Structures are given as C-alpha cells and as structure tokens.
Amino acid sequence: MARFRRKLANSAEQTSMQGLKTVIPFLIAATFFVWTSEARQQGPQRDGAGVRPGVLPKAWLLGGPKCIETPEFQVHEYNEDFYILRQSGCSNYEKPFLFLLFGRDRALLLDTGAGKTEIARVVNNVMKQWLTRNKRQSIQLVVAHTHAHGDHTGGDEQLKSLFGTILVAPNLNAVQSFFGLKNWPEEIAQYDLGDRILDVIPIPGHEATSIAIYDRQSGVLFTGDSLYPGRLYVRDQVQFIQSIQRLVDFTQNRLLTHILGNHIENTRTPYLDYPIGTIYQPDEHALELGRGELLELNEALHQMKGTLVRMALRDLTIWPM
C-alpha cells in the first residue's frame, strides 16, 4: 500500500513537473513583456520624455518684511520661452502669479495681476529682451485669463494699450468665441502660439469663465484658482466636481511636469495655511503641485457625495462658498 502510494505521489510529481516545464517559458515571456512595457512607460528617459525642461525657483521673493526693498513683480525665467511673474505681497496681499509663454507667431500672457500696477511696463521689458535674444522686430501679444476675478484682471486696461495687443475680455462669450469652445464646458480646444500648441480646458466652478491651459511643450498645466496650494473657493459645486474630474481624465495619458495655479496660501507645514490677507509668507508652500494632489482632490470631492464641506487636505483646502 505504501509502495502504491509512493508510486501515486511520484506520478503526481511528474505531472506537476511537466506542467511547470510548459508554464515556465510562458511565465518568463510574460514577465519580460511586463518588464519591457513598464520600462517603456515608467523608466527615466534621457531626453526628459521629450518635454522641454525649465527651472522653478527654490523660493519666491517674499513680500516684506521690508516692502521698500521689494519690487512689484518678480520675473522668473523658467526657460527662454516661458516666464513666470509673481506680484509682491506689498503690492497686493493676493500675490497672484502670471504666466508669459512665447511661440513662433505670438506670445500669450495669462492674467494681468491685482489692482493698479506697472504690469504693462514689466511685460514690455520681458518682450523686448525676448525679441533682442531672438533677433526679431515684433511679436503679437495675446492677453487671456485663467478666470475673471479682479485679482487676475487688474492690468487689462493698461495691457490693451500696448501696441498690437489682443485682449480676450474676461467674459464667457469672449472666451468661448476666441478659443472656439462651442460645447462649453465639455469641449477642449487647441490654441497654437506657433509650434507651441496649448489645450484649453473649461473648468467652471470656482468662477463661471474658469479655464485650465495645458502647454504641450513644457508639460505644465495652468489651473488658475481652481487648483493651487491654498484655499480652493468653490462657488458652483456641481460644476467644480465635474471640472476636477475633467482635469483628471485629461491628464491620464499625458506627461505632466507641474500643475501651476495662481496663488500660494498654504505654509510648508501640512494642513496649515496662512490667514487671509497675509502679506509676508516666509514659510510658504511651493507653487508647483503634481498629479497626486489633483487625484487626492478628486477623491475627496467624490467622497463628499455631492455636498461639499470645508476640508483641509495636506496641501490645499476645499472651501465651498
């Protein structure tokens, strides 16, 4: 009986060995396939995945403590065709960020700052330097907005007076017709600066005309006041939830280097923000966020099941109005 059992066990072992022999080459092939396809998707790439690189500052100029020493705008060169302007807290406590992108045929200024400033002179200087560097006589300037709130449209009148400027008025009709967004807010439009295509994504909710802009060249997504390290004021909850989901879907299969919003209100301490109206923020959060924060925001919004409540996440706060 023992011998018989032994025989049975032996034949079972043989069968499983034979099975393994057939399975092993398949397993190796499958592992190799997964490894190579993952390596293609996730491995570091020597050309930076084809995205044009740029540099963000380690810290932004702080408004104060001595305002007399603080310029109205800090101009930061991310790369030769991409500038970030930050308004000083001494000039306006909102301290908004503005973005200036150059293509072959035109430049786009996104937002014009808070209140009355010297923005036209500052933008003109950057454009002059760009023209000299590129040995060009002129370039068309287009001024558009992430949304219509006053802390992002303060310099509109001044900039309109710069020679040859096209200003997209901060209202829904003008934004829709300029970018060709017929089916608002579902449709995503493209706008070409000349060898530099931008995707224009409607994201109403913080404000009715809110848009996000994705710059394919740098891989940066501009999100205005809808996503930044601070208090995300939500006026239309239904639209806001849909808009954040739209950004999640849009970024799913795209290279995303940075999400750049319009303000910094959080400190570097998780869950902690500066009080509204703070001018001097010596320990402020970095401006840039990544897709992780976008996903975290989206998840928190969905968990609230249609009725948003004020909630601090690590790097920002959901703030229904």
228 to 287, contacts with Zn ion by CB under 5 A?
none
Of the candidate residues 225, 265, 273, 293, the single one contacting Zn ion (CB under 5 A): 225
- Count Cβ atoms below 10 Å from residue 8 Cβ, excluding itself: 10
Closest CB 145 distance from Zn ion, rounded Å: 10
Number of residues this chain uses to bind Zn ion (CB under 5 A): 3
Site stretch for Zn ion (CB under 5 A), options 20-28, 46-54, 122-130, 146-154: 146-154
Alpha-carbon span 153 to 123, nearest angstrom: 14
Nearest to Zn ion of 48, 150 (CB atom): 150
Closest CB 34 distance from Zn ion, rounded Å: 45
User: Within 13 Å of residue 188, how many CA atoms lie on the same side as its CB?
Assistant: 14
- Count Cβ atoms below 10 Å from residue 148 Cβ, excluding itself: 17
Nearest to Zn ion of 106, 149 (CB atom): 149
Closest CB 124 distance from Zn ion, rounded Å: 24
Q: Does 151 bind Zn ion (CB under 5 A)?
A: yes
Lay out the site mask for Zn ion across 21-50 (x = CB under 5 A, - = otherwise).
------------------------------
Q: Does 149 bind Zn ion (CB under 5 A)?
A: yes
Site stretch for Zn ion (CB under 5 A), options 53-61, 104-112, 144-152, 215-223: 144-152
Nearest to Zn ion of 151, 215 (CB atom): 151
- Look at the alpha carbons of 286, 147, 50, 79 in this order and tell me if their dihedral is positive or negative: negative
Closest alpha carbon to 111 in 204, 246, 222, 227: 222
Nearest to Zn ion of 225, 273 (CB atom): 225
Nearest to Zn ion of 226, 257 (CB atom): 226
φ/ψ region of 290 (left if φ > 0, alpha if ψ in -120 to 50, else beta) reads: beta
| Residue owning tokens 């750049």 | 260
Identity of the residue numbered 248: V
Nearest to Zn ion of 159, 234 (CB atom): 234
Q: Does 111 bind Zn ion (CB under 5 A)?
A: no
Site stretch for Zn ion (CB under 5 A), options 61-69, 72-80, 104-112, 150-158: 150-158
Phi, psi for residue 84 in degrees, rounded to 5: -115, 125
- Look at the alpha carbons of 164, 170, 173, 177 in this order and tell me if their dihedral is positive or negative: positive
Starting at the earlier edge strand, list the strands of the sheet with 197-202: 189-192, 197-202, 211-215, 220-224, 258-261
Residues making contact with Zn ion (CB under 5 A): 149, 151, 225
